[in-house]
Amino acid sequence: MKRTLTPEQEAARAARREKFRALVKQVAAMSDEERAHLTCRVGAVLTCEGRALSLHNTCLLLMQCPSVSMVGGFRQWIKAGRVVRKGEHGQMIWLPLGAGKEADAETGEPGKEAGDLHFIIGTVFDVSQTQEIGQAVAA
């Protein structure tokens, strides 16, 4: 069940999303050479599961956290044996949602196109914002 946000929380969420949309527009306005130059400093940014992020998401992360190296979501870090330190704020990236469903052949009801990809805003944390789970309990 989703919790109800206070008006202050709603305003803070709207401000974060607007800031992210401005970053997205800034990255979209970059030329391919500018994106390549920005990412050549750190190379590919990997998830804690070992997958490389897209060039677009890498640029978004570098603009939010220039020292980014490896990222993961809150639950991804727990699966990897690490936990996000209390008080840390994550960086926002685009997360792809799975392909849509084809139209039902029996009923003929229209569905989403096969291969239709949608994106949502997701929050990830750099490895420097985490600690091993055993250390979190000891602290």
Q: What is the pLDDT of residues 60-100, one digit of tens each?
A: 999 999 999 999 999 999 999 999 999 999 999 999 887 65
pLDDT tens column, 106-139: 444 445 455 678 899 999 999 999 999 877 555 5
What is the rounded distance in angstroms from the CA atom of residue 73 to the CA atom of residue 117?
20
Q: For residue 92, give both structure tokens.
A: 């926002």
Enter the pTM of the model. Answer: 0.77
What is the rounded distance in angstroms from the CA atom of residue 42 to the CA atom of residue 95?
21
Between strands 82-84 and 91-97, the pairing is unpaired
pLDDT grade for 37, boundaries at 50, 70 and 90? confident
22 pLDDT above the threshold of 80: yes
Output the pLDDT for position 109.
46
